[in-house]
Amino acid sequence: MSDTNTYCVFCAIIRGQSPIAKVYEDNTFLAFMDKYPITSGHTLVLPKYHYGDLFQMTEDEVGNLYRVVHTIASAVYNATGAQGLNTGQNNGKAANQIVPHVHVHIIPRYEKDSRDGKWPSRKVSEYRELEEIANRIKKNL
């Protein structure tokens, strides 16, 4: 969690102050459904300790993060029936990092969602739908 007095939405989630559709949790990492998914099954993986960007993490910490990403991505892929998968991690405003807490996006991709190579538009999902998808993903872990 954050060691600063600056508010961080992901640190608030880690403290249990916001509801999430949880996919995975251990002592170091948390994975949950993105509330504004690009596609069905869009999942976020993040360290519980607050790092503003990837460069604040040690090489070993980054390696551990991506080991969890690999596990979660496999489960997302199998649970959603996706035809492909994007993983992404943004650092800094210029790279479109919206929340300044390290997180990795796992985005299932479907043949029908790509038009002219453009990303689908984000949507607001109902919590019930996110929970259903999270439960399917958990069964694949």
Give the residue numbers marked as catalytic: 103
CB 104 within 8 A of CB 46: yes
Edge-to-edge strand order for the sheet containing 29-33?
A: 22-25, 29-33, 43-47, 104-109, 84-88
- With residue 105 as reference, give the H or E element that holds it: strand 104-109
- How far is Cα 97 from Cα 75, in angstroms, rounded to an integer? 25
- How far is Cα 43 from Cα 82, in angstroms, rounded to an integer? 13
Pinpoint the alpha helices (H) of the chain. Answer: 9-14, 59-80, 127-139
Phi and psi of 104, rounded to 5°? -115, 130
